[in-house]
């Protein structure tokens, strides 16, 4: 089946620094990628939708200047958490939608801890 | 707006069947999904059903869809300890754009 990878799987950073998370579709082209955030024992909250070559669409309440999303190619999207704070600590999951089948495949997630 | 609801917890004995229920509100949803999440991991697509179907069976998994009541269920036959996980139902909303997830049902399988 289709595979989506995320890197890194875990990251610890200091408050005030920026962290970049990569999401790659390994064997298909993803015209659309989604970024989710998941708090412990809670559901996934959609943060933003990114389409290759255009600006991301952010959900209400998500700060676009804080969570920078770049979808530079059909296989790569990045999420940069700028000036991270402890409250940004969370599990970030991306998904990629196959441009041919429209099925969504999820990455394994990135655990971000801000100290 | 769109909303998906699930019961939060289900406990079953190994070998029994598990039934996880879900209700949704968007009647225009074309696809409904079941995902499995194990601790510390991403989501694994288990199965999905197109909105013009009533039932879909895939090995131990049976999905039932009652479109009139906007009710979706996932039945796992012969539940095993490896089935212990959180199960999310989700609907497509916004013209194939967004997946709307339920809160997830934590399935615990005991001997």
Average pLDDT score, chain A: 92
Interchain contact, B43 vs A42, CB within 8 Å: no
Burial, A20: exposed, middle or buried (Cβ in 10 Å; 0-12, 13-18, 19+)?
A: middle
pLDDT one-digit tens code per residue, B77-100:
999 999 999 999 998 876 656 788
pLDDT one-digit tens code per residue, A32-43:
999 999 988 788
How confident is the model over A9-34, as a mean pLDDT? 94
Q: How far apart are CA A21 and CA A87, in angstroms?
A: 17
Interchain contact, B41 vs A108, CB within 8 Å: yes
Q: Coil, strand, or helix at residue A104?
A: strand
pLDDT at B51 over 90: no
Q: How many CB pairs under 8 A join A and B?
A: 40
Q: What is the pLDDT of residue A31?
A: 86
Nearest Cα to B52, choosing from B27, B76, B73?
B27
A105 part of contact set with chain B, CB < 8 Å = yes
Decide if B6 contacts B104 (C-beta within 8 A): yes
Q: Which residue has the tokens 């070998």?
A: B15
Average pLDDT score, chain B: 90
pLDDT one-digit tens code per residue, A79-96:
999 999 999 999 999 999
More confident residue, A17 or B44: A17
């Amino acid at each position: 089946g289709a595979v989506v990878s995320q890197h890194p799987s875990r990251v610890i950073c200091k408050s005030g620094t920026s962290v970049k998370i990569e999401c790659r579709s390994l064997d298909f082209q993803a015209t659309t990628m989604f970024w989710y955030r998941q708090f412990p024992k809670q559901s996934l909250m959609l943060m933003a939708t990114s389409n290759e070559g255009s600006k991301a669409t952010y959900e209400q309440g998500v700060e676009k200047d804080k969570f920078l999303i770049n979808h530079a190619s059909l296989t790569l999207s990045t999420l940069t958490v700028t000036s991270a704070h402890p409250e940004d600590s969370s599990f970030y999951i991306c998904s990629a939608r196959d441009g041919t089948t429209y099925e969504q495949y999820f990455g394994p997630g990135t655990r971000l801890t801000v100290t | 707006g769109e909303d998906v609801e699930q019961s939060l917890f289900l406990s079953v004995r190994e070998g029994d069947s598990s039934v996880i229920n879900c209700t949704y509100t968007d009647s225009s949803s074309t696809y409904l999904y079941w995902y499995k999440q194990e601790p510390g991991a991403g989501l694994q697509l288990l199965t999905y059903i197109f909105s013009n179907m009533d039932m879909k069976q895939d090995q131990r998994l049976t999905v039932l869809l009652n479109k009139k009541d906007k009710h979706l269920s996932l039945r796992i036959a012969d539940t095993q300890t490896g089935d212990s996980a959180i199960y999310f139902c989700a609907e497509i909303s916004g013209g194939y754009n967004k997946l709307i997830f339920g809160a997830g049902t934590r399935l615990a399988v005991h001997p």
